[in-house]
Amino acid sequence: MNKELLMESARKMKVTAYVPYSKFPVGVALLLKDGTVINGVNVENVSLGATNCAERTAIFTAISNGYNKGEFQAIAVAGDTVDFLPPCSICRQVLAEFCSPEMPVYLTNENKDILELTLKDLLPYAFTDLEM
């Protein structure tokens, strides 16, 4: 799957986000090595610490569906922002737990431009088990 199709999947997901407090929907499309795409959205809670980001929703769903560390091929993150929308620090660390440092991370903005980075670009000094 190319990055444009993966990003389109992430953009379409934004409408299902549960964001009554921030009004800031985020959609994610996580591509697995077998070609499966698992989507995620942010889900807010009045107790902000109970809120879950779209990236973690997708990763945790993949793990719940039997996928394992190392089976993630790429991720696309979409929001309605002027600049490119990167994952938060917690999500970056969760990505570092399950994904290769060289995994492509695609970010977009409201103009539908796509920025391609690697996980290592986003988190150059990740705390990892060093076995990836």
Of the listed 4, 8, 44, 55, which one is catalytic? 55
Structure letter (DSSP) for residue 111: T
Q: Is the pLDDT of residue 131 over 70?
A: no
For the segment 99-108, the average pLDDT, to the nearest whole number, is 97
In-domain check, residue 73: yes
Give per-residue pLDDT as tens, 19-36. 999 999 999 999 999 999
Binding residues, by number, are 53, 88, 91
Active-site residue flag, 55: yes
In-domain check, residue 127: no
Query: What pLDDT score does 130 carry?
Result: 59
Give per-residue pLDDT as tens, 43-58. 999 998 999 999 999 9
Q: Is the pLDDT of residue 129 over 60?
A: yes
In-domain check, residue 132: no
Burial 26-64 (b: 16+ CB within 10 A, else e): bbbbbbbeeeebbbbbbbbeeeeeebbbbbbbbbeebee
Q: Is the pLDDT of residue 132 over 60?
A: no
In-domain check, residue 130: no
Instruction: Give the count of domains, the chain.
Output: 1
- The parent domain of residue 69 ranges over 3-122
pLDDT over 90, % of the chain: 92
Binding residues for Zn(2+), by number, are 53, 88, 91
CATH number at residue 10: 3.40.140.10
The pTM is what?
Answer: 0.94
